Amino acid sequence: MTRWSAPHVRSRPRPNRPSEPVTPGAQTVSHRGWRDGVSVDGQRAVPEETAIALVYEGATLAVMMATPADLEDFAVGFSLTEGIVDSRDEIESLEVIVEEIGVELRMRLAEGKAQALAARRRHIAGPVGCGLCGIESLAEAMRPVPRVSGRAVFLSATVLSALGAMRGRQQLHRQTQAVHAAALWTREGGLVSLREDIGRHNALDKLAGALAMSGTDPRDGLVLLTSRLSVEMVQKAAVIGASTLVAVSAPTGLAIRTADAAGITLVAVARRDGFEVFTHPERITGAARDVAS
């Protein structure tokens, strides 16, 4: 049985801010805008950015710049997609500790996983755009990905509908125009989970954690991304078992090859009027069917 401690939050005074956050992970600031040569004073919601330390067995493994929201999901999802644990149950405790200069996510692992982590420990200093920071070898960066087993087939119109549902739920992006989102859409539940972050990798990690915490299986759903598809996004999707990955931007060549090897249907350049399928197109159809085979 996994033992989860109630998140222990220790706060210290923070510097004065222009106003309280509009929504978790954002705040409103004053600005002076120029339009057509005329200045106008106004306000704008901007996303927050905080140093988040992922701490295992008392030692920091990674420090990432991230949006300070859904941090338990981030801790669990990062642990899963980086191969530190194979399931949520192998994280025996998790504490969220808020400091003046950032946040520590302190975790204790099951004995076997703690020993394995000690043997492979590395330090990652992670700016928001970096997905493979701190990897020590080519073999680790290009680790084999598991092959997914989802067999659901989706109408092309369903993919577009799911993207529309995601756009409607991106509250933080709607306010700030400055964050990424990752979401899961399923036939039974529609848009069942969505997470946002200034970092595209962080958003996917948060989604992975949310799905693990709720026991939701993404294999026969659509994992939706607002970002480009680089190889580490495909690697993370494969680890959580996502069979169909949909992104609004283009994939890299390596991402395509990795998705093909993992059995993932890679849908990209997804816009309101259509998209392109790069791997395993059998999961997308224009026929009047939307069933698991």
> Which of the residues 22, 53, 97, 130 is marked catalytic?
130
The model's confidence at residue 22, banded by pLDDT at 50, 70 and 90, is low
Helical ranges in the chain per DSSP H = 71-81, 111-120, 138-141, 156-169, 171-176, 200-214, 231-240, 253-262
Query: 142 in a domain, yes or no?
Result: no
CA gap 24, 47 in Å, rounded: 9
Query: Which residue, 242, 251, 263, is CA-closest to 144?
Result: 263
203 within 8 A of 73, measured Cβ to Cβ: no
Residue 134 scores a pLDDT above 60: no
Range from 5-9, 34-38, 174-178, 258-262 carrying the lowest mean pLDDT:
5-9
**Which residues, 6+ apart, have CB-to-CB distance to 245 below 8 Å?**
223, 225, 229, 233, 234, 237, 259, 264, 265, 266, 267
CB 49 within 8 A of CB 69: no
What is the pLDDT confidence band of residue 26, given thresholds at 50, 70 and 90?
A: confident
Residue 17 has pLDDT above 80, yes or no: no
**Ranked by mean pLDDT, which of 29-33, 191-195, 270-274, 283-287 comes out on top?**
191-195
Q: Is residue 199 part of a domain?
A: yes
Mean pLDDT of the 161-175 span: 94
Q: Say if 136 falls within a structural domain.
A: no
What angle, 0 to 180 degrees and rounded to 10, lies between the N-to-C axes of helices 200-214 and 231-240? 0
Active site residue 130: yes
Which residues, other chains included, contact 108 with Cβ-Cβ below 8 Å and sequence gap of 6+? Answer: 56, 57, 91, 92, 93, 114
Q: Is residue 94 assigned to a domain?
A: no
Residue 248 lies in a domain: yes
Q: What are phi and psi of 141, to 5 degrees?
A: -65, -35
274 vs 261: CA distance, rounded Å: 25
Q: Is residue 26 in a domain?
A: no
**pLDDT of amino acid 44:** 87
Going along 23-126, which residue ranges are E strands? 26-35, 38-47, 50-56, 59-66, 91-99, 102-109, 124-126
CA distance 189 to 73: 20
For residue 235, is pLDDT > 60?
A: yes
Residues spanned by the domain of 278 = 154-285
Q: Contact at 8 Å (CB) between 21 and 27?
A: yes
Most confidently modeled of 88-97, 132-141, 281-290? 88-97
Separation between Cα atoms, residue 226 and residue 275, nearest integer Å: 13
Local structure of residue 197 (DSSP, 8 states): E
Residue 84 lies in a domain: no
Q: Which CATH number goes with the domain that contains 191?
A: 3.40.140.10
CA atoms of 99 and 169, how far apart (whole Å) = 30
pLDDT of residue 264: 97
Alpha-carbon span 281 to 291, nearest angstrom: 15
**Span 28-36, average pLDDT:** 90
CA distance 158 to 163: 9
Per-residue pLDDT tens over the stretch 53-86: 999 999 999 999 999 999 999 999 999 999 999 9
| Cross-strand bridge partners of residue 152 | 292
pLDDT band at 144 (very low <50, low <70, confident <90, very high): confident
Contact in structure between 265 and 284 (CB atoms under 8 Å): yes
Number of folded domains in the chain? 1
- Report the Cα–Cα distance between both ends of the chain, in Å, rounded: 35
**80 exposed, middle or buried (CB, 10 Å; 0-12, 13-18, 19+)?**
buried
CA 18 → CA 107, 194, 284, distances in Å?
Answer: 34, 28, 48
- What pLDDT shows up at residue 1? 29
Would you say residue 206 lies in a domain? yes
Instruction: Evaluate if residue 38 carries a pLDDT over 80.
Output: yes
- What six digits make up the tokens of 173? 């992006």
Whether pLDDT at 139 is above 80: no
**pLDDT at 19 > cutoff 50:** no
Is 90 exceeded by the pLDDT of residue 219? yes
